[in-house]
Amino acid sequence: MTEQLYHWVGGQKVNGEGDRFGEVYNPATGEVIAKLPYASRSEVDKVVQNALVAAEAWGDTSVPKRSAIIFRFRELLVQNKEKLAEMLGREHGKTIPDALGEIQRGIDVVEFAAGIPHLIKGEFNQNIGGNIDLYSIREPIGVVGGITPFNFPVMIPLWMGAMAVACGNAFVNKPSERDPSCPNFLAELWTEAGLPDGVWNVVHGDKEAVDALLEHDDVPAISFVGSTGVGEYIYQHGSKFNKRVQAFCGAKNHMVIMPDADMDQAADALIGAGFGSAGERCMAISVAVPVGKATQDALIERLVPKVEALKIGAYNDPNADINPLITRQAQERVEGLISKGIEEGADLLVDGRGARLQGYEEGYFVGASLFNNVTEEMEIYKTEIFGPVLSVTAPQTFDSAVSMINNHEYGNGVAIFTRDGDSARTFSKQVDVGMIGVNVPIPVPMAFHNFGGSKRSKFGDTQMHGPESIRFFTKMKTISSRWPSGIKEGAQLAFPTND
């Protein structure tokens, strides 16, 4: 039976008003499992107007009270982890252990947000001159739009929304139409935690809903995670309407393996970082960079049997290593890029095309694939494949490896595996990449640090979660204060100084 989904507005389920709907699929079976309403501009406006009223009262709510509600929400997330993981796996396809990992990383940010009384403190200086005290405060900005991706339907709404709400704003989430049920359930949990109606909203749709948020006068800020093409549009279009915009986008993450590295550890790290979640992660390692021919040979010797042993499976299969991709179109695109790699001259050592699973013949599966001798000119090197495909390219020197990474248009994440501290330190200094791992294959920072890449992996000046998020989701006021007993007689016409 096909489920009828809904928007979440003002603390309750709201059915779509129009006749535009999308279908939600189970990627493992190819079956339609839900029908999703697509919001019109007028529907988005109603959501924003509702959120605007809620934001005014929520922004005036005491900071400790906000913190208490966030902590109750955190407890509900913990209690409902398995339910969320099941929901996530069914619509996205990722395995239950992978889904639980995603949920935990979202909870980490909620825990950080609960510390908002400390995080949002301003600054103060007494008697900066002429008996004037100077202090700064941070205030909410109002209604924040969050446009979130399919690959992390729990984690990313929590990364954005928990911080936005903690700072006193209302949040309007426009999630991916591919897996919308988790964002809806998060909204229900917020209401159960005691968040006032209208502070957290979910509106579903396509480009029409996105443009309605980007162009709305009462939405001063937009946070986005997704592909680079869309992210660039979000950033440029939102900026035209005088919004602050942060857009976290695509990636092509490298992992350098130095000759002195532990090759078994490096191979295991590449398997997890390259093929976890079927490669549908912006922090996935998709290019292995062994330095020198001997390192390349030693790595390939270890990688091939490990890649061949990876099993495709549905989200609830405890033996599954690789889940299906999100759509049939994604499956066809990834298989097409594998074919393109062969045409361009790369050596395909493990071929995941045509993968089929008994009982799931219509699922969107692509098996693990491994290329060797990939060059910088090839499409499979330049493009973010977003599938279970690992490319190996082998520069002869450390400097060549660094140049290769810096020449790529993306700069989201990178890693180096080595026993040499000097190599690691030099590498960390020289690469133009936002997040760097030293013997850590997926260097996603913890909630109390900032997340964000460089180059075309990010548009905008601020980072995700951590202290940077406080700056993005608030506006600063600076107050100069002096009381009558400190004021000298007579008008002073010269520009004020601290003489």
Active-site residue list: 282
Q: How many CA atoms lie within 13 A of 41 on its CB side?
A: 7
Q: Which two tokens stand for residue 454?
A: 């460089």
- Distance of alpha carbon 135 from alpha carbon 114, whole angstroms: 24
- Distance of alpha carbon 208 from alpha carbon 220, whole angstroms: 18
Question: In 3D, which of 349, 360, 258, 259 has the Cα closest to residue 307?
Answer: 349
- Distance of alpha carbon 467 from alpha carbon 457, whole angstroms: 20
Contact 118, 170 (CB under 8 A): no
DSSP 119-142: HT--EEEEEEETTEEEEEEEEE-S
* Sheet strand arrangement including 123-129: 123-129, 132-140, 474-481
Q: What is the 3-state secondary structure (H, E, C) of 230-282?
A: HHHHHHHHHHHCCCEEEEECCCCEEEEECCCCCHHHHHHHHHHHHHHHHHCCC
- 117 by Cβ neighbours in 10 Å (0-12 / 13-18 / 19+) ranks as middle
